[in-house]
Amino acid sequence: MENALITNSTGILFVLAANAALWFFLEKKTGWKLFNYVPPLLFIYVLPAFFSNLGLISSDSPVYGWMGDNLLPLFLVLLLLDVDLRSTVKVMGRGVLVMLIGTAGVVIGAPISYFLVKGWLDPEAWKGFGALAGSWIGGTGNMAAVAEGLETSGTHFGLAVIADNAVYLVWLPLLLQSKNMANWFHRFTGVTNERLTRLKTSASELVVEKGKPEMRHLLYLLAIGFGVAYLARLIAQNIPELPPVLTEGTYRILLVTTFGLGLSFLPAKRIPGSHELAMALVYLFVARMGAKAIVSGLAGQAIPFVAGGYVWIFIHGIFILFAARLFRMDIHTAAISSAANIGGAASAPVVAAYHDERLVPVSILMALIGYAVGNYAAFFAAYLCNLVS
C-alpha cells in the first residue's frame, strides 16, 4: 500500500518483530488461559494483516522479498540441524513408521478434502492446502517454506492459518484425552506390556540438551545458514522449471532441506541455539505473511476451507489407527505420532507430558523428523491438490 503510514523497511521490521514478541511476552507473563486454546501464532499472523489492510504498514515493501530470499532458507537449515534420526529410531522403533503413515494420511487426505470443498474456494486455494500440509507434516517453519515455494497469496496462507488453529482446538484435546482410552486401545492394537516398559525406559535415558549458546555459536549458525541458502540459490537457478509446483522457489526450498538434513549427520548438529534462533525467525516470517494478506478475501472462504480441514484430519486419524494396529503400538506412541505431525515441536511435548513425562524428549525428536520430511511431502500434497483443482 503506497499511502501506508510506515513504508520504511526498518519500520516494518520493527512492527513485525514487536508484534511477534508481544504475544509471547503475554503468554509468558500473564498465564491467560486463552493461549491454551489459541496459540500466539494466530495473533502473530492476524495483526499484521489488519495493520497492512488498514494502511498502518505497507503490504508491498521490498523488505518482504528480502525476508523470503534470506530469512526463510536460514531458519530451515537451523531447524533441520536438530534432526536426530538415529536416536529416534533407536527409541521409538516401529513407532517412527506410525508417524510416517500418519504423514501419508496427511498427503492423501489433502487432495480428497480439497476436492470436496474446492467449489466454494478460489482456483488458487490449492496452494493454501499445500501450506497447511506443510504445517501438518512438519510445523510452522514448513508451512511458511511451502507457502513461499508455491508463491501462496497472503489470503490463502491466512486461510491455512485459520484452518490450522480451528482443527487444533479439537484435535489436541482428543490426543490428550486418548490417554483415558489406553486399555481399549491396547486391546485393539495388541500391544504388549514389554513394549510399553521398554519404550518408557529408553525414552527416560534420552538426552537432547546441547548446552547454553554463546556468541560464537550464533556466528557459526549464521555462517552455515547463509552459506547453504546461497548454494541452494545458485543450483536452483539452473534447474528447469515445471510450474505451477516445481518452480525455482520450490527447488530452492527442497535443496535447502536436503543440505540441512545432510548437516544434521555432521558435528554442526551439536551447535547450541539453533532451534531457538530458527523459531524466532519462523514467527517473524509468519508475521510477514500476515502483512501481505488481503483480509477481505478471508471471510467468504474460511468456512469451506475449515470444513475441508476437518475431513482431512479425520483421514489422518484413520491412517494413525491403521498404523497402530498394524505395528501393535501403544496409545502413547500413536498420540505422539499424530501430534508430531499436526502440532509439530510445539504440541508433541505437551501431548507426551500428559501421557508420560518420560516421553517428552523422544516426542521432540519425532517432531523434528516431521521437519525433515515436511517440505518434500507437502509439495507432493500440493501437487496432488493441483491435479484435482
Percent of the chain with pLDDT over 90: 44
Q: Which of 6-15, 55-64, 352-361 has the highest mean pLDDT?
A: 6-15
Q: Residue 8 domain-assigned?
A: no
DSSP state of 244: T
Is pLDDT larger for residue 203 or for residue 100?
A: 100
| Residue of higher predicted confidence among 39 and 212 | 212
What separation, in Å, do the N-terminal and C-terminal C-alpha atoms of the chain show?
A: 31
pLDDT for 2 equals 59
Cross-strand bridge partners of residue 242? 246
pLDDT of residue 100: 95
Residue ranges with strand state E in the chain? none
Whether 45 is covered by a domain: the verdict is no
Can you give the pLDDT at residue 16?
A: 95
Distance CA(92)–CA(100), nearest Å, equals 12
Domain that holds residue 229: 68-388
In a domain, 384, yes or no: yes
Residue 292 falls within a domain, yes or no?
Answer: yes
CA 60 to chain centre: 25
Residue 206 has pLDDT above 70, yes or no: no
Location of C-alpha cell 495483526: 47
- Asked if the structure places residue 87 within a domain, the reply is yes
Q: How far apart are CA 362 and CA 84, in angstroms?
A: 10
CA angle 69, 273, 228 (to 5 degrees): 35
Least confident of 63-77, 103-117, 140-154, 204-218: 204-218
Q: Name residue 212's amino acid.
A: K
One-character DSSP codes across 99-146 = HHHHHHHHHHHHHHHHHHHGGGS-GGGHHHHHHHHHHHHT-HHHHHHH
Prediction pTM value: 0.83
Total domain count, the chain: 1
d(CA 74, CA 88): 24
* Per-residue pLDDT tens digits for 292-312: 876 666 667 889 999 999 999
The answer to whether position 302 is within a domain reads yes
User: Do residues 121 and 309 lie in contact, with contact meaning Cβ atoms separated by under 8 Å?
Assistant: no
Higher pLDDT, 384 or 241: 384
- pLDDT tens for each residue of 248-260: 888 898 999 899 9
Residue 207, pLDDT score: 61
Q: Which residues of 31-67 are buried (b: 16+ CB within 10 A; e: fewer)?
A: eeeebeeebbbbbbbbbbbebbbeebbbbebebbeeb
Inside any domain, residue 40: no
Residue 314 has pLDDT above 90, yes or no: yes
The string of pLDDT tens digits covering residues 69-99 is 898 889 889 988 888 878 888 878 888 999 9
Mean pLDDT over each residue of the chain, to the nearest integer: 88
* Cβ 129 vs Cβ 381: under 8 Å: yes
Contact 139, 375 (CB under 8 A): no
Ranking 193-197, 237-241, 313-317 by mean pLDDT, the lowest is: 193-197
**What residues does 243 pair with on adjacent strands?**
none
Q: How far is CA 216 from the centre of its chain?
A: 28
**Residue for cell digits 521409538?**
92
Highest mean pLDDT range out of 193-197, 208-212, 319-323? 319-323
Render pLDDT for 121-137 as a digit per residue (tens, 0 to 9): 999 999 999 999 999 99
Residue 63 lies in a domain: no
Say if CB 279 and CB 80 are below 8 A apart. no
Question: What pLDDT does 121 receive?
Answer: 93
pLDDT exceeding 70 applies to what percent of the chain?
A: 96
- What would the pLDDT profile of 141-199 be if each residue is shown by its tens digit? 899 899 999 999 888 998 998 899 889 878 988 898 898 888 899 899 888 777 777 77
What's the pLDDT score for residue 1?
Answer: 53
Contacts of 308 by beta carbon, 8 Å cutoff, 6+ apart:
113, 114, 116, 117, 129, 163
Nearest-10 crossing angle of helices 95-117, 299-327:
150
